[in-house]
Structure 1
Amino acid sequence: MYTDGACSGNPGPGGYGVVLLYKGHRKELSQGYKNTTNNRMEMMAVIKGLEAVKEPCAVDVYSDSKYLVDSINKGWAARWRDNNWMRNKKEKALNVDLWGKLLSLLDKYQVSFYWVKGHAEIEENERCDFLATEALKNSDLLEDTQPT
């Protein structure tokens, strides 16, 4: 699974793009939102991609978001959840609605996250960027329920 999020302004209109590849099959997903952030769209891409997976399986997620990849791989997001969504004793974690959804989905699958450099001519990452950017331009933008 390749994922990307985009935002025009931060916050502003945003979108996500997903390319799912499995045994010669390909599925692309995208959607735009009226008022959101880039980080939320990066996370939404993975959530929507995992929600589209039909059966429990191993999933490799490729993202150009260090925020997303590091938050999962370094255990930050799980630690925030375990600490009642606090990053430390004084700072609340952001995007807790999406982190909660994502962490729940990760329990269903064997997911490995890999960071890829954005705009580095990685074909599927470039395609996700295109899908996300086009999605934020559409007229059917959804409301982001909890933009931060």
Structure 2
Amino acid sequence: MPETQRRVLIALDETGSGKQVLDWVHSHHILAPEDEITVATAVDEDVSHVEGPGMQSAPMSSTTNATEDFATDLRMLERHGKQHLSNGIQTLQQLGYNNTKPELLKGHPGRMITKYAKDQQVDLVICGRRHNRGVLKRSLMGSVSEYLVHNLDCPILVVQ
């Protein structure tokens, strides 16, 4: 029986746990060499000016030109996101998965990953789950993995 190509979306965040997710997925034989794999990350400009890159707490800027600071922060987030995507693609290729592409999404991570997965008719979404978020931050901003579980119809693998 011939293998069928699946569309797989791997959603990475900027915490550095992406390599662990990719290694776990590979070691448990979740992906097939013929899968079409998209590695995505989302840059949330609504949070960048308050939380800073990587969602770590950062003080608000004391300068008077908030628009310029916001644009600088957004460019930095985009560079950071592109670097995470590049690292993810490189890791996958080293593991033998060559049908890969990066996708930098802009906006709320849960909503943008959900929209992309539905628009592209993805067969499987793989994401990690953060352990280092406090109750307050998780309740205010929500968990991306929880959002995906509640809003996607395709199978979702959450790697802890």
- TM-score in same-fold range (> 0.5): no
Q: Give the TM-score of the pair, scaled to structure 1.
A: 0.26
Q: Give the TM-score of the pair, scaled to structure 2.
A: 0.25
Return the structure number with greater relative CO, CA threshold 8 A, min gap 6. 1
Structure number with greater Rg is: 2
Structure in which a larger fraction of residues adopt strand:
1
Structure in which a larger fraction of residues adopt helix:
2
